[in-house]
Structure 1
């Protein structure tokens, strides 16, 4: 196959850029430095992000993006329906399409959307749908830090080097006051407010609920932390179980919030504790210090994009990590049905990470 990564673009003909964004909110956040570079490279060009919910809420506050289109890919949607929707995007007259996911589907959809130039990695035999392909090895796909991996997709455009931090101008403009959100949650911003998120997209990726409970009990006793337990409606039984380990009045189970409200809550927290998840990356985005627990994932691949002094990651560094997370085809589960990379992380491991960051940043 011909290497066409060096094909030139006539920049004077690029009036509208479409971004086919990653599927998961954590990956969307890790792609934001690439968007910052793209905006610097094309300051006067219209940039539209095509993304699945709820990440459309997140991108509404991104200064690198002019408009957001929600791609309504729902469970059960047929191939024909998705193709018809993509064809409907041709009315936007995209000149350049940048495809962040590795999937064949995303490249096909961008071609159907009518973008004249289409840039992406040469994965999943999708090169017929791209005009600018970037070769990538299996090792790079597996182990590259996602911020760098996404930024490298822009290399045919000669972008600025990747930023060392998220854009400080990133903001939410939905008219919701932070005090209103805190009132809705039932907490105030006085004292050592900590947001703890025990959930993940797959239960096998989540640290033990009981260990989160013991950790909270210990941190409340040592630091008088006020712990806000964040999760979905489906995760409420888990949050309740964690709260039962703790003294009355020292934990609050968060009601159903939208993404803007969750962002505000995390932003005013002194510390975020949680698994390798989208919420951990949301904390990084707003600059809240992070303690992240990594099992099947690895911090060198999907760790927080924060200054080193503002985060601690807990991992066993097993040689199989990061894995493809096809539980449990490639490893045996523990008696508690967890991969051993998570099973072997103790309460002591996480509490010591919390102590290090509390002492280093003098959090209280």
Structure 2
């Protein structure tokens, strides 16, 4: 590579991507990565990512190789340093870092990538050859796809794609069919998916309200509902299921993210909180009713055409929330922030009806 030429004019053959930590953020990088692949169609692009997000990237047309970041008992600093140094054998021309942490920039520098791009937060300039300027305001307010795209500004790329490339391959259809049949659903039967969980309880709408909403959907519309969640959310899912006849509400247990994406794609619409599951639904083009309490939909809303989603939020004077729960606001009687407490079953059901009329 000729160091006298700007980076956008270099011959780039190998790129490493240090991916975000959360599933939703990984999804929101994909339109940018599709643009990256168009700009460098023959480059070998490697993604370093945490489990289970690797399941989304395996076989993705923008990615050649997926490497798992050490986790669990093998995720200490020593193990991560050893892992990062082991990547030198790939001889990366360019390294891109999505997380804003000091530690992630340090690890990227150990990979031997000749040029390293990332935001200039937290004193990370010492590890980056191309620190990208940003501000606290942009970190908190800029839509994530645009925020991630700006990291690539030294490269020759066009705008991010407006649609996602398919991640569900034909070979996954059998697993998707089995997942539906195991819950008693025919492959062509219409259903609605609902995910009541989030990473924090304070961001999750009330289980009781989800249950009453399921009752109303069943009584008024007669539609079957499939509840989605992780193993840790099993009690929550069963609480909601108990509000309706067992043959009308089904639970699909934890599954591979690619199979989950396939189930979401077959769904008539998705209902849920601001979560990674919501972004998976957007990724496969399923219409969405998203409940945003303290979350900022202007920053992390679903990446899809506005007519395909309904975002329910209370725009209070303290919005967008800094999510320092109950240090800057008082909890409701249900231990929720009032921006979530004040979203009613009626609000959500009416949003569902508006969306169903449009799709």
With normalisation by structure 2, the TM-score equals 0.94
Q: Deviations over 1:288-330 (max 9, x none)?
A: 1111000111211111111111111100022433333232322
Once residues 75 and 62 of structure 2 are traced to their aligned partners in structure 1, the CA distance between those partners, rounded to angstroms, is 30
Q: 1:171 aligns with which of 165, 168, 176?
A: 168
Say whether the 8 Å CA contact 1:48–1:66 is kept in structure 2. yes
Q: Compute the displacement of 1:222 (Å).
A: 1.2
Once residues 285 and 89 of structure 1 are traced to their aligned partners in structure 2, the CA distance between those partners, rounded to angstroms, is 30
Q: 2:346 aligns with which of 345, 348, 359?
A: 348
Q: 2:104 aligns with which of 81, 103, 106?
A: 106
1:328 paired to 2:326: yes
Once residues 172 and 202 of structure 1 are traced to their aligned partners in structure 2, the CA distance between those partners, rounded to angstroms, is 32
Q: Deviations over 1:184-203 (max 9, x none)?
A: 33322344301100001111
Q: Compute the displacement of 1:94 (Å).
A: 1.0
Partner of 1:36: 34
RMSD between superposed Cα atoms in Å: 1.8
**Greater mean deviation of Cα atoms: 314-323 or 351-360:** 314-323
Partner of 2:84: 86
Say whether the 8 Å CA contact 2:293–2:313 is kept in structure 1. yes
Q: In the superposition, relative to structure 1, how do residues 75 and 23 fare at CA in structure 2: closer, same or farther (>3 Å)?
A: farther
Once residues 75 and 350 of structure 1 are traced to their aligned partners in structure 2, the CA distance between those partners, rounded to angstroms, is 42
Say whether the 8 Å CA contact 2:191–2:223 is kept in structure 1. yes
With normalisation by structure 1, the TM-score equals 0.93
Say whether the 8 Å CA contact 1:87–1:114 is kept in structure 2. yes
1:126 paired to 2:135: no
Partner of 2:225: 227
Once residues 137 and 63 of structure 2 are traced to their aligned partners in structure 1, the CA distance between those partners, rounded to angstroms, is 31
Say whether the 8 Å CA contact 1:90–1:114 is kept in structure 2. yes
Number of residues paired by the alignment?
Answer: 355
Say whether the 8 Å CA contact 2:70–2:79 is kept in structure 1. no
Partner of 2:284: 286
Secondary structure at the residue paired with 1:98?
strand
Once residues 340 and 123 of structure 1 are traced to their aligned partners in structure 2, the CA distance between those partners, rounded to angstroms, is 32
Secondary structure at the residue paired with 1:155?
coil
Q: Map residues 18-97 of structure 1 onto 2, 5 A cutoff.
A: 18-74=16-72, 77-97=75-95
Secondary structure at the residue paired with 1:119?
strand
Say whether the 8 Å CA contact 1:17–1:45 is kept in structure 2. yes
**Greater mean deviation of Cα atoms: 42-51 or 254-263:** 254-263
1:239 paired to 2:237: yes
Partner of 1:203: 201
Once residues 233 and 123 of structure 1 are traced to their aligned partners in structure 2, the CA distance between those partners, rounded to angstroms, is 35
Once residues 192 and 348 of structure 1 are traced to their aligned partners in structure 2, the CA distance between those partners, rounded to angstroms, is 23
* Runs of at least 5 residues in structure 2 that lack an aligned partner in the other structure: none
Secondary structure at the residue paired with 1:31?
helix
Q: Map residues 136-175 of structure 1 onto 2, 5 A cutoff.
A: 136-167=134-165, 169-172=166-169, 175=172
Q: Compute the displacement of 1:335 (Å).
A: 1.7
Say whether the 8 Å CA contact 1:295–1:321 is kept in structure 2. no
Say whether the 8 Å CA contact 2:168–2:262 is kept in structure 1. no
Q: Compute the displacement of 1:37 (Å).
A: 1.1
Q: Deviations over 1:264-310 (max 9, x none)?
A: 11111111100000000000001111110001112111111111111
Q: Deviations over 1:197-254 (max 9, x none)?
A: 0001111110000000011100111111110011112211111111111123100011
